Structure 1
Amino acid sequence: MFQLSKEHQEYKEKVRDYTQKVVRDYAKLMDDKNEGGEKIVRDFGEMGLLGMKIPTQFGGLGLGEVAFAIATEELGTESGGASHSLHTQLNALQLLLSVGGESARDWIEKGIKAKEIYAVALTEPGAGSDLGALQTTARPEGDELLINGEKIFTSAASFSTKMVVLARTSGNVGDRQGISLLLVDSKTPGVEIHKLDLMGIRGAGVSYVKFNNARVPKDAIIGKEGDAFRGAIKALMVSRNGYAGIAVGIARGALEEAVNRAASRKQFGKSLLEQEWIAFNLADALVKVESARLLTLRAAEMLDRGIEALTEASMAKYAAAVTAAEVSRTALHIFGGHGLNRGSKVERLYRDSKIMEIAEGTNEMQLLAVSRALQPKK
């Protein structure tokens, strides 16, 4: 049985307390207005949550991936948007650390304290899971770089101060070499940000971004020019497990709502929870939530021990995403017509759950990664 350390348990209680006191009431506002992520991120900075994965020598807490999985789950029980906002900032910091190392120290320290809020500009209309296919370019012109291209589903962009951008500084589309990581001020002339109106994870500032001859200094490049691909892939593989945590949280939140509803709602002289078919559905949901959590924590613990765990993280992300979709659908069904009301918690979690099956690598991409582990060893 997976046991949390005393330190992790205390951390879990801290995040749960914040979730119940702040996020629970704030989640509906984020969803209704499709805004509010900036306040949440500022809160995270004040609480020290943004440094959870960052090594202590960079000003972080050094609590690792288990803490990440714990925090995203707790936040996810009330709001996919709030949990995704935490994930985005930690993803950005992980990219800066993986690609830039010591040279990115100042930006990492500012991000930990939310003095800078980062957007993560990686995905393009024609380059999602295949980062090598990205077409955004950053070509030299004098002492500057000229950025041109499009980014889609750029998390936190609408309220960011800086964007962590992958762009091609040399080579051709399809090459893994020649890709650089840049840190770009979000208000740079030539940068257009258009917030998207997504069905779920609302308030997280997910946006379409266009770079139209946006000029940045050459020192905007983080780390070694043209050598960001490997570090970016490493950071993204690690962040995948955090997304599994969000999905576990959504599933748990939906299950808790469904159980409470089933226990309090009476039909034909007894509660819904006493109706066998309802009880069995909820029991099945509980098994799936617990299983997804254990897969997520196992992968996180392996990553904390320095084990690559790519297969395990993909298994966790796939299982958690499927579970979030299934359990939130079950919860919606148990609530019946009341659950269909726009703004009800189970309706909101249901919409959040669908994005879990797409973002950070689709279900199919996770199965592809897992299937590779089935191949006979040579």
Structure 2
Amino acid sequence: MSELPKEVEEYRAKVRDYAQKVVRDYAKQMDETNDGGDKIVKDFGEMGLLGMKVPVKYGGLGLGELAFAVATEELGAESGGASHSLHTQLNAIQLLVSVGGDAAAEWIEKGVKAKEIYAVALTEPAAGSDLGALQTTAKPDGNELVLNGEKIFTSAASFSTKMVVLARTSGNPGDRQGISLLLVDSKTPGVEVKKLDLMGIRGAGVSYVKFNNVRISKDSIIGKEGDAFRGAIKALMVSRNGYAGIAVGIARGAVEEAINRATARKQFGKALIDQEWIAFNLADAYIKVEAARLLTWRAANLFDKGVEALTEASMAKYYAAVTAAEVTRTALHIFGGHGLNRGSKVERLYRDAKIMEIAEGTNEMQLMAVSRTFQPKK
């Protein structure tokens, strides 16, 4: 698939305009201060970006996964942090849709309009890709639940109004049953948030969160108690392809910067781009970005057709992440010493790119997922 439907192409133009007019200038500030994602999310709500793949009945646009992949690319070309902020909100809303459905309609609609800003509290110090190993508990006490545990790499937590939390309401670590999705007010007594100082995707509010005897209503459970695992995994597998879109954007942004630099910079009497090894390296990078985009669009298109394209999403996420890491490194080489300056766009994109190989499932997890398609059934 190399062409976009008309409505998605129009949407892409809208996001690109915002990315280049607002995010391009704002990205450096987000990176330097490790702050500012709340403004970006509120902008997304006003523009309708948070409803792009949300069903129309919940106040969304229903454009689907292809629009999501396109939007994350456009934002990623300017800032991994801004694009990650979009991804976080859509990830949270997707969890509410997947696990809660109509019962969570109020919270889905508020998320679409950015009347609520959600943090996604899933990963724990001892439970990353293996969600079944999570140890955070929500134990009943009368009409309430008492929430205890730790979450790490909780996106948007530092500026969220609500947290979408996976916790164990029954069973033991390792069990897939007994896991519930909770919606917790971020200001509830006992919720402790410490923003992390990550190397990349800065400004996205990624934080360490501790729940210390947090008392919440049993009505905080989204969907059926103890039955959130399957819906959560489905939502996360779909969102993986959005992260591939971020990586494609980061890689594309780096290639564009490198081409501009190689065209303008003269060395030994001619432009860098006229040096064969420079031109060939740029050509190689350009091809890889195009290939990563096509893999991402293919998976998104399959999802939009109702196909459970989890293998295709893993392929896209893996290849896009590797491409982002390789291409940003190439761009840094072309910039030479100027690219090493803290705060230069290629230096920032280089740091953002490394996150792509780890977040939303490491490269190794993607390879494991893909390898299952050809391993003998046991």
Q: Is 1:154 aligned with 2:157?
A: no
1:1-378 matches, within 5 Å, as 1-376=1-376
Deviations 1:11-69 (A, max 9, x none): 00000000011000000000000000000000000000000010111110000000000
2:171 aligns to what SS in structure 1?
A: coil
What residue ranges of structure 1 are gaps of 5+ in the alignment?
Answer: none
Report the residue type matching 2:298 in the other structure. Answer: R
- Quote the offset at 1:276 in angstroms: 0.3
Q: Return the alpha-carbon distance in structure 2 between the equivalents of residues 161 and 308 of structure 1.
A: 32
Q: Which amino acid aligns with 1:26?
A: Y
- Per-residue CA deviation, residues 123-151 of structure 1 (Å, 9 max, x unaligned), is 00000000000000000011100000000
Task: State TM-score, norm by structure 2.
Answer: 0.99
Q: Does the residue aligned with 1:216 lie in a helix, a strand or coil?
A: strand
Q: Which amino acid aligns with 1:207?
A: S
Q: Does the C-alpha gap of structure 1 residues 131 and 27 become closer, same or farther in structure 2, counting only changes over 3 Å?
A: same
Q: Secondary structure at the match of 1:32?
A: helix
SS in 2 for 1:127: coil
1:108-127 CA distance string (max 9 Å, x none):
00000000000000000000
Give the whole-Å Cα distance in 2 for the aligned partners of 1:340 and 1:62.
42
Q: State the AA in 1 paired with 2:296.
A: T
Offset at residue 320 of structure 1 (A): 0.2
SS in 2 for 1:209: strand
SS of the equivalent of 1:115 reads coil
Report how far residue 201 of structure 1 moved.
0.1
Taking the aligned partners of 1:182 and 1:3, their CA distance within structure 2 comes to: 39
| 1:72 partner SS | helix
* CA drift at 1:269: 1.2
Distance 2:243 2:212 in 1: 31
Secondary structure of the residue aligned to 2:84 is: helix
Q: Output the CA distance in 1 between the equivalents of 2:247 and 2:178.
A: 34
The residue type paired with residue 199 of structure 1 is M
Q: CA deviation at 1:190?
A: 0.5
SS in 1 for 2:284: helix
Q: Report deviation, 1:260.
A: 0.4
Separation (CA, whole Å) in 2 of partners of 1:375 and 1:208: 37
User: What is the alpha-carbon distance in structure 2 between the residues aligned to residue 143 and residue 376 of structure 1?
Assistant: 49
Distance 2:369 2:138 in 1: 31
What CA deviation, in whole Å up to 9, does each residue of 1:71-91 have, x standing for no partner?
Answer: 000000000000000000000
SS of the counterpart of 1:140? strand
- Give, in whole Å, the separation in 2 of the partners of 1:43 and 1:184: 23
TM-score in terms of structure 1 length: 0.99
Deviation at 1:377, TM superposition (A): 6.6
Alignment partner of 1:215: what SS?
Answer: strand
Q: How many angstroms does 1:375 deviate by?
A: 2.1
CA shift at 1:374, angstroms? 1.4
Q: Where has structure 1 moved over 3 Å in runs of 4 or more?
A: none
CA distance in 2 between partners of 1:57 and 1:212 (Å): 37
Q: Which amino acid aligns with 1:271?
A: A
Q: Percent identity?
A: 83
3-state SS of paired residue (1:336): helix
- The structural deviation recorded for 1:3 is 1.1
Structure 2 distance, partners of 1:317, 1:326, is 14
Q: Distance in 2 between matches of 1:302 and 1:327?
A: 27
Letter in 2 for 1:14: K
Q: In structure 1, the residue corresponding to 2:324 is in which secondary structure?
A: helix
Shift of 1:376: 4.5
Q: 1: CA distance between counterparts of 2:2 and 2:326?
A: 24
- Determine the C-alpha separation between the residues in 2 that align with 1:353 and 1:272: 24
Q: Structure 2: how far apart are the matches of 1:217 and 1:6?
A: 45
Output one character per residue of 1:195-218: Cα deviation in whole Å (capped at 9) or x when no partner: 000000000000000000000000
Aligned residues: 378
Separation in structure 1 between the aligned mates of residue 266 and residue 37 of structure 2, nearest angstrom: 38
